Amino acid sequence: MRKRFDANIKPSEITPESVFLKRRALLTTAVAAGLVPSIMSCEAATLPASGEFTDVEKWPGSTTEKPNTFEQITTYNNFYEFGTGKGDPAENAHRLKTSPWSVEVTGEAARTGTYALEDILKPHAIEERIYRLRCVEAWSMVIPWNGFPLADLLKRFEPTSRAKYVQFFTLNDRTQMPGLRYPVLEWPYREGLTMAEAMHPLSFVAVGVYGKVLPNQNGAPLRTVIPWKYGFKSAKSIVRIHFLETQPETSWNMAAPQEYGFYSNVNPEVDHPRWSQARERRLGGNLFSASLIPTQMFNGYAEEVASLYTGLDLRKNY
């Protein structure tokens, strides 16, 4: 078998990526149309063709707060790859093609390589977790995600003892993501966690919401959900997972280091330089509903995660 970076490879032997993608897209379309009853249709079974998950187990730790509606969750998004307005992702995300999709695993792990989405999802049972989501902009929602623990996925790649951090990269394709034309952030979007944070049982990979396959504007086909951190720490539409020994670069920190730190844990006592983080607006009310509520330490998950940060000055490590 040829090695990946064989210098002797002839240019004529390489299939251009565009041709390769077209070929796969054609096959997918053919499978969807029932023309090719091949093994591909079995592989794709993990993301239900109907768009709805069946046999979803309810996680006992879910919050009992009233979830936001599907419409609210899917029309008010920060996903700058599709534009900086809250409504832009819902408007533009139809351009994103989530099938075929693959995730590249690189760095300090035994099982690096490129994995098809189907292979990523196959072994995981889908559960429903209702989490609070607190945005750094001082608004929040309650969202019933469908997915599986991040730790279960990361363990499969067998990170080495040198892996102290893990970094996630979002797709960086201008033809599908019009917002990438603007240098708003350092593209591709990248986020990172310590391994201890990533392996924490609350860290989650979402592939759906409300029992439906994740809409593109929410980070399809797979995204992380780290409920005790500000929303931007959860990377959407992930195409690469990178294990490393030193603290990785993160897009918002690169853009404004004095405003967005590496940790970015929800913390009502540490204000954003331009606004208070003590309270948040719980979305879903009308113009005159009293929707301001106090923000909780670690977004209400302090009991579970506070021990990750013992001895760490959270004011300095914001």
Partner 1 sequence: MTHRTVVILKVALWAACLAPLGLLTLQAFGYAGGLGPNPPEKVLDVCGKTGLNLLVLTLCVSPIRRSTGIGRLVSFRRPLGLFAFFYLLLHFATYALLDRGLLWDASTALRTVAADIAERPYITVGFTALVLLVPLAVTSTRGMQRRLGRNWAKLHRLVYVCAVLGVVHYYWQVKSDLDFAEPLLYAFLLAVVFGERIKHRLVHAKTAVAAPYQRVQPPQAGEKPSH
> How far, in Å, CA of 32 to CA of 16, rounded?
25
Burial label, 109 (beta-carbon count in 10 A; 0-12, 13-18, 19+): buried
Q: Would you count residue 75 as binding partner 1 (CB under 8 A)?
A: yes
- Is residue 11 near partner 1 by the rule CB under 8 A? no
Q: Using the rule CB under 8 A, which residue among 161, 287, 311, 315 binds partner 1?
A: 287
Contacts to partner 1 from residues 97-156, by CB under 8 A: 137, 139, 141
Encoded one letter per residue, x for contact with partner 1 by CB under 8 A and - for no contact, window 189-228 reads ----------------------------------------
Q: Is 178 in the site for partner 1 (CB under 8 A)?
A: no
User: CB of 21: closest distance to partner 1 in angstroms?
Assistant: 31
Q: Which stretch binds partner 1 (CB under 8 A): 6-14, 166-174, 239-247, 282-290?
A: 282-290
- Smallest gap from residue 199 Cβ to partner 1 (A): 31
**Residue from the set 116, 270, 283, 308 that interacts with partner 1 by CB under 8 A:** 283
**Tokens, residue 163:** 């892996």
Kindly tell me which of 141 and 202 has the beta carbon lying closer to partner 1: 141
Element (H, E) at 126: none
DSSP state of 197: H
Joined together, the tokens standing for residue 72 give 């609210």
> Following DSSP, what letter does each residue of 160-213 receive, concatenated?
-TT--EEEEEE---TTT-GGGGSTTS-SSPEEEEEHHHHTSTT-EEEEEETTEE
Which listed residue (23, 26, 58, 84) binds partner 1 by CB under 8 A?
84
Nearer to partner 1, 201 or 257 (CB): 257
Based on the shown chain and the rule CB under 8 A, indicate whether residue 86 belongs to the binding site for partner 1.
yes
- Which amino acid, one-letter code, is at 191? E
Per CB under 8 A, does 276 bind partner 1?
yes
Closest Cα to residue 128, out of 225, 237, 241? 225
Least separation in angstroms between CB 271 and partner 1: 9
φ, ψ for residue 142, nearest 5 deg: -120, 125
| Burial category of 10 from C-beta neighbours within 10 Å (exposed 0-12, middle 13-18, buried 19 and up) | exposed
For CA atoms 152, 233, 142, 80, the dihedral sign is negative
To the nearest 10°, report the CA torsion of 262, 153, 92, 175: 90
Stretch that binds partner 1, among 142-150, 195-203, 241-249, 284-292 (CB under 8 A): 284-292
Q: Which residues bind partner 1 (CB under 8 A)?
A: 68, 72, 75-76, 84, 86-87, 137, 139, 141, 183-185, 255-256, 274-276, 278-279, 281, 283-288, 290, 292
